[in-house]
Chain A
Amino acid sequence: MPARCSGSCPRRLLLLCLFLSLPGGSPADLAVTPQDANQTHKNSLTRMPTGLKSSPEPMTTTQTVNRQTWGGSISDHLTVGPDASTPGPDLTTLEFKQDTKSNTSHGSYEKHEVVLSGDSGHAVVKNITLDRAVRIELTCKLDDKYSSLKVIQVTWKKGNETIGHINKTENSWSIQLTISDNSKLGSYNCTVKGEKEFSVVFHLQVPKIDVKDKPVITYEGDIAVLVCKSLNSTPISWTWYMTNGSEQIAINDSLLLDKYVIDKVFPNVTQLKILKLTSKDDGVYWCEAAFELGKSKGKMKLKVLSLMVPLKPFLAIVAEVVVLVAVIFLFELYSKRREKCTEIEKEFDQTEQLKSEESNGVENSSTRHRKV
């Protein structure tokens, strides 16, 4: 039974296979299953169509939640203001009170806060992904242990431009922004100068595209499938580009129906199928997702090989097999023949023995017995 095999069990494979579609079962070695378990966007706003769901991220303490090796411990607090259409329940955290400003003409309202409690050293960075227009409030706050610290100056800047309107509370400083188009995205810097200096940078960005970084390998005459996925956000539209030299040419699948097929597998996943591959299709492809606030690109490499490429090692190995099998059989024939020769010799010797013993008489009968 193919049972007792270690890392390579048929059963295992079976079970693995059975589990490919079930959560939690994806042994790394047999099957390659993409594990989408990662939440890279802990900080991103999860859209709530109706009602409110509290972010799974710990919101209750200032102790380190993210195991990040910065000078300080940071806790991220994310609260979502109620949508214009859904005045839902309030979320309160220990850190600060829920802002109950409901209706805004711009839709949802986000708050992001960073608590500074470490040594001044590196600047603290927080990435915020926005896929649609929002009003946003960014806060940098000093940890309670610094409540006695004298603060001389707090500046909020975008690039070189200083932002005027800073809302100050006891030991936190925040700004409110309306992010309505691409120009408003960027890096917002909060610097707190006093006996110690702290710095926080908020990067406001469009969502990133998730692509396989390894090249996709196909063969001539085959079909290639290139997949792009936008994490956690659904873009307004997708566009695919092919690279011709240094130019990027958009792929229009309605023009070349028998060559390209663009599918929307899920709202946030796009798939480009290239049929009847030739070596000309080899190269770099881009998928571009358009969001309300800007565009985001992903790069993929496609390799088209000829069948000759793997054929050479294949033939080499088959030749090796033929040679080995021939050697084994020849060796066997050879040793069988040798056995026969020695057998014949032995028989000859024995008959000789018998003859000589007979002539020597009965005394040697015991010898005969022993020898036979």
Chain B
Amino acid sequence: MAGGSPPAPWGWAVVGGAFLQSGLVFGGLRALGLCLGALGGSFGGGAGAVAWVGSAAIAALQLGGPLASSLSTRFGARPVVMAGGFLTGLGFLLGAFATHLAHLYLSVGLLAGLGWALVFTPSLGTVGRYFPARRALATGLAMSGASVSGLALGPLVPLLLDTYGWRGALLLMAAVSFNLLVAGALLRPLDAPNESPGPARGRRGLRRLLRHGPFLRYALAFVLVDAGYYVPYVHGPARAHEVGCDERRAGLVMAATALADGSGRVVAGWLAARPAAPLLRHLFGWSALTGLALLLLPLGTSFGGLLALALAYGFCAGAVVPLQFTGVAEVVGAGRLLHAIGLMQMFESFGSLLGAPLAGWLRDLTGDFTASFLAAGAFLLAGSLLILTLPGFFRTSRGDGGKGGGHGLAPGEAPPVSPSTL
């Protein structure tokens, strides 16, 4: 068949499942943060000790990426995602009965985090497989789930906490997280004939990826991007207070940013999924714009100004999301998409671990967030510039796996059939 094969009709159900999963993973993480805040000294540890529970979850989520890719390559995405969903629910359930801080680290921290890792990467990989064409759009739609859940859980979790306390809230979040099993069930394995046969399996594939120059540059680009990306989200409310917004207005700014983010994901995915769209250039464009928006962010010194700039930032930042994941396929080929995503996640964690603390430190040093936002914007722009160096950037190949063709394919690996310009 010429061009991309149309997605199997079940593909939209898969997108739905991925949307659900995206909402539950990030929603769950957010809810966890809120529940931890409500612990209120029940276990004696200060705010710092409790915070490490969240850090444990995130660490498990990030570092579990490669593990998830390997497992799902071996067993298929569906069992892995469903197992992950079960683990997450179990983690929350055990956490509800914790009598000691250590219980929380292990249950809600490690177990739930591991579950999320097992859910996230394979879901994205499956979406990628069902949509060899229009991959960016499908990914954007799927990832917008996170924005929606962000908006919905904002008021919902505090309500749960007020009604049931933190234990009850964790218990109910366990039940909600079990819906990840539903998301997983929707990921029907695809016996697609146009799949590149024998993608590198297991550890060999991962190791080969590590030597793949363009992939490393891509991953590095996103390490830089991540260093700047989260700063407005993490420090947004504090910045809003800095310019004089009260609690309600700060919440409004964050909610509006979440909305813009969600729309950005869908719109960018749709734009990049058009047949002739050069994906990497779109990616470069959006991430550069995000960097610019960050650089301009300090100019927002009133509620209105901050809101407008935050909306611009949110939209561009959201746009980067689906393109980041579909861009991987451009660089390493659709066959190794899964492994690459997992590995990339792991690398990115260094960027994000660096970014927001650095911003906080700069703020403490200079007295306000201007320097922090400027630094974050600089990181983003640096990452965008790295994207320029990727082999596929200046090539306008059309209709064949040209981009993936000459680069990094192991002998015996067929080039991906899907057109590189999705």
**Quick one: closest A residue to B65, CB to CB?**
A1
Query: Of the candidates B22, B38, B51, B356, which one forms a contact with A11 in the assembled complex, judged by CB atoms under 8 Å apart?
Result: B356
A310 within 8 A of B: yes
Chain B CB within 10 Å, residue with most, of A4, A216, A222, A316: A4
9 extra A-B contacts, CB within 8 A, seeds A16-B33, A318-B175 = A3-B229, A4-B143, A5-B147, A13-B57, A17-B52, A31-B36, A271-B41, A317-B179, A325-B181
Determine if B345 and A1 form an interchain contact, defined as CB atoms under 8 angstroms apart. Answer: yes
Contact with A along B36-57 (1 / 0, CB 8 A): 1110111000111011111101
Known: A7-B255, A223-B42. A28 touches B237 (CB 8 A): yes
B311 within 8 A of A: no
Query: Of the candidates B150, B226, B237, B363, which one forms a contact with A27 in the assembled complex, judged by CB atoms under 8 Å apart?
Result: B237
Whole-angstrom distance from the CB of A2 to the nearest CB of chain B?
Answer: 5
User: With a CB–CB cut-off of 8 A, which chain A residues contact B116?
Assistant: 2, 10
Please provide the chain A residues from 8 to 37 with a CB less than 8 Å away from any CB of chain B in the complex: 8-33
What is the bound-complex CA distance between A155 and B124, given in angstroms?
A: 77
Count of chain B residues near A, Cβ 8 A: 100
Whole-angstrom distance from the CB of B220 to the nearest CB of chain A?
Answer: 14
Determine if A23 and B364 form an interchain contact, defined as CB atoms under 8 angstroms apart. Answer: yes
Determine if B38 and A321 form an interchain contact, defined as CB atoms under 8 angstroms apart. Answer: no
**15 A-B contacts (beta carbon < 8 Å):** A4-B317, A6-B146, A6-B262, A7-B30, A7-B255, A8-B29, A13-B32, A15-B230, A17-B33, A25-B356, A25-B360, A29-B251, A33-B47, A225-B41, A314-B174
Please provide the chain A residues from 23 to 66 with a CB less than 8 Å away from any CB of chain B in the complex: 23-33
Query: Of the candidates A24, A219, A303, which one forms a contact with B167 in the assembled complex, judged by CB atoms under 8 Å apart?
Result: A219
Query: Of the candidates B58, B164, B254, B265, which one forms a contact with A7 in the assembled complex, judged by CB atoms under 8 Å apart?
Result: B254
Known: A2-B116, A5-B26. A15 touches B357 (CB 8 A): yes
What is the bound-complex CA distance between A310 and B151, given in angstroms?
A: 23
Determine if B34 and A32 form an interchain contact, defined as CB atoms under 8 angstroms apart. Answer: yes
**Quick one: closest A residue to B187, CB to CB?**
A328
B25 within 8 A of A: yes
A311 within 8 A of B: yes
Please provide the chain B residues from 265 to 315 with a CB less than 8 Å away from any CB of chain A in the complex: 265, 314
Report the 7 A-B pairs with minimum CB-CB distance, sorted nearest first: A32-B37, A4-B321, A7-B150, A217-B165, A17-B51, A1-B345, A15-B356
What is the bound-complex CA distance between A323 and B65, given in angstroms?
A: 30
> What is B's interface to A at a CB cutoff of 8 Å?
22, 25-27, 29-30, 32-34, 36-38, 40-42, 46-48, 50-55, 57-59, 61-62, 65, 116, 120, 143, 146-147, 149-151, 153-154, 161-165, 167-168, 171-172, 174-176, 178-179, 181-182, 185-186, 188, 222, 226, 229-230, 233-238, 247, 250-251, 254-255, 257-258, 261-262, 265, 314, 317-318, 320-322, 324-325, 341, 344-345, 348-349, 352-353, 355-357, 360, 363-364
**Quick one: closest A residue to B149, CB to CB?**
A8
Determine if A325 and B182 form an interchain contact, defined as CB atoms under 8 angstroms apart. Answer: yes
User: With a CB–CB cut-off of 8 A, which chain B residues contact A310?
Assistant: 164, 167-168, 171-172
What is the bound-complex CA distance between A242 and B234, given in angstroms?
A: 41
Whole-angstrom distance from the CB of A9 to the nearest CB of chain B?
Answer: 6
A309 within 8 A of B: yes
A-B contact number at CB 8 A: 265
A313 within 8 A of B: yes
What is the bound-complex CA distance between A18 and B416, given in angstroms?
A: 42
Interface of A is mostly: mixed
**Quick one: closest A residue to B25, CB to CB?**
A2
Determine if A311 and B171 form an interchain contact, defined as CB atoms under 8 angstroms apart. Answer: yes
User: With a CB–CB cut-off of 8 A, which chain B residues contact A217?
Assistant: 161-165, 168
What is the bound-complex CA distance between A317 and B76, given in angstroms?
A: 27
User: With a CB–CB cut-off of 8 A, which chain B residues contact A219?
Assistant: 165, 167-168
Determine if A5 and B185 form an interchain contact, defined as CB atoms under 8 angstroms apart. Answer: no
Known: A25-B234, A32-B38, A321-B182. A19 touches B360 (CB 8 A): yes
Whole-angstrom distance from the CB of A318 to the nearest CB of chain B?
Answer: 5
What is the bound-complex CA distance between A170 and B305, given in angstroms?
A: 47
A266 within 8 A of B: no
Known: A26-B238, A31-B51, A222-B167. A8 touches B364 (CB 8 A): no
Determine if B26 and A9 form an interchain contact, defined as CB atoms under 8 angstroms apart. Answer: yes
A74 within 8 A of B: no
Known: A7-B150, A11-B230, A24-B364. A313 touches B143 (CB 8 A): no
A324 within 8 A of B: yes
**Quick one: closest B residue to A324, CB to CB?**
B182
What is the bound-complex CA distance between A332 and B78, given in angstroms?
A: 13
Determine if A18 and B51 form an interchain contact, defined as CB atoms under 8 angstroms apart. Answer: yes
Query: Of the candidates A4, A33, A311, A313, which one forms a contact with B37 in the assembled complex, judged by CB atoms under 8 Å apart?
Result: A33
Determine if B37 and A218 form an interchain contact, defined as CB atoms under 8 angstroms apart. Answer: no
Known: A6-B318, A19-B234, A33-B37. A225 touches B58 (CB 8 A): no
Known: A29-B254, A214-B162, A225-B41. A6 touches B29 (CB 8 A): no
Whole-angstrom distance from the CB of B133 to the nearest CB of chain A?
Answer: 22
User: With a CB–CB cut-off of 8 A, which chain A residues contact B254?
Assistant: 7, 27-29
Whole-angstrom distance from the CB of A64 to the nearest CB of chain B?
Answer: 16
What is the bound-complex CA distance between A124 and B265, given in angstroms?
A: 54
Query: Of the candidates A3, A6, A309, which one forms a contact with B345 in the assembled complex, judged by CB atoms under 8 Å apart?
Result: A3
User: With a CB–CB cut-off of 8 A, which chain A residues contact B345?
Assistant: 1-3
Determine if A309 and B164 form an interchain contact, defined as CB atoms under 8 angstroms apart. Answer: yes
Query: Of the candidates A14, A271, A325, which one forms a contact with B55 in the assembled complex, judged by CB atoms under 8 Å apart?
Result: A14
Determine if A18 and B357 form an interchain contact, defined as CB atoms under 8 angstroms apart. Answer: yes
User: With a CB–CB cut-off of 8 A, which chain B residues contact A96?
Assistant: none
What is the bound-complex CA distance between A313 and B173, given in angstroms?
A: 11
Determine if A14 and B146 form an interchain contact, defined as CB atoms under 8 angstroms apart. Answer: no
What is the bound-complex CA distance between A225 and B49, given in angstroms?
A: 17
Contact with B along A286-329 (1 / 0, CB 8 A): 00000000000000000101000111011111101100110011
**Quick one: closest A residue to B162, CB to CB?**
A214
